[in-house]
A = this chain, B = another copy of it.
Amino acid sequence: MGATKTEHFTDEQNAIAILAKAIGHPARVAILEYLLKVDTCICGDIVNELPLAQPTVSQHLKELKNAGLIKGNIEGNAICYCIDENVLSKLKSYFATISDNLEKKKNNCC
């Protein structure tokens, strides 16, 4: 035991969980925010921005890519990473829906 029982949940639940899990580390939040900040997305310097060793950063980038949050293009020598707009738009509407529904209900029982 110890492995997540993915098969018992809906595809949407798993999809949201995968995205949230990928964001669930401050280094990856920092990477996303950095990618958002810089105009161009030539991103070799993410390593310099973060207080982590290069292999660690590379691993975090890989996880963000696996989750679908970022895309990477080979740019000659380096690699150009950037956020996938569509996925973030999906997260935006997911949390908007939940928050708006809560607002509507206002069952302040807790």
Give residues in A with beta carbon < 8 Å to B: 4-6, 8-10, 13-14, 16-18, 20-30, 32-33, 36, 39-41, 50-52, 71-73, 80-85, 88-89, 91-92, 94-96, 98-103, 105, 107, 109-110
Contact = CB atoms under 8 A, between A and B. Distances in A.
Interface secondary structure of A, over-half rule: helix
A95 B95 contact: yes
A88 B82 contact: no
Nearest to A103: B85
22 contacts: A4-B25, A4-B26, A6-B26, A8-B51, A10-B26, A10-B30, A13-B30, A13-B33, A17-B28, A20-B21, A20-B29, A21-B25, A36-B98, A73-B110, A80-B109, A80-B110, A82-B107, A85-B103, A88-B99, A89-B102, A92-B98, A92-B100
